[in-house]
Amino acid sequence: MSDQLYQERIVALAKAKTRAGKLASPTKSVRRDNPLCGDRVIIDVTLDGQGRITEIAHQVRGCLLCQASTSALASVAVGRDATGIADLRHDAERALGRESGEAREPFAAFVPVRDYKSRQECVLLPFDALKDALS
């Protein structure tokens, strides 16, 4: 039953829309589309001299999982550089069962997506976008 997927925490993350919007003067703005389903994420970041995120904002035209994941990522991204964001992706991959180990918060919320392989790219799309923004 899909209610097993759309658990309260995922719905809450999506509805929170943490740091949703645009930055006035981003260092970088990156758009990523999932060509299979049409989900679209735009992430704006400002970076300090060491490549650490000082500000982040996002616009999502996508499903609830993509909205929730982007919101979760934005909530913990500030202060991290590319390596730090890659660490967060490992958490998401662990939550999805693609890597062994336990996922840390906030990405543990995505454990229910383990059984829905066709939806896992929805969760990972903002990570791809942010990686592009930091490269």
d(CA 22, CA 11): 22
40-47 and 28-33 strand pairing: antiparallel
Residues 67-96 that bind other proteins (CB under 8 A): 67
Number of C-beta neighbours around residue 35 at 10 A:
6
d(CA 74, CA 51): 16
Q: Is 116 in the site for other proteins (CB under 8 A)?
A: yes
- With CB under 8 A as the contact rule, which of the stretches 36-44, 90-98, 99-107, 123-131 interacts with other proteins? 36-44
Q: Is 37 in the site for other proteins (CB under 8 A)?
A: yes
Helix (H, G, I), strand (E, B) or coil at 113: helix
Q: Is 62 in the site for other proteins (CB under 8 A)?
A: yes
Sorted by sequence, the CB contacts under 8 Å of residue 92 that are 6+ apart come out as: 69, 103, 107, 110, 123, 124, 127
Q: Is 20 in the site for other proteins (CB under 8 A)?
A: no
Q: Is 2 in the site for other proteins (CB under 8 A)?
A: yes
Q: Return the residue of 85, 122, 123, 124 that touches other proteins, per CB under 8 A.
A: 122
Binding site for other proteins (CB under 8 A): 1-3, 5-6, 11, 36-40, 61-65, 67, 116, 119, 122
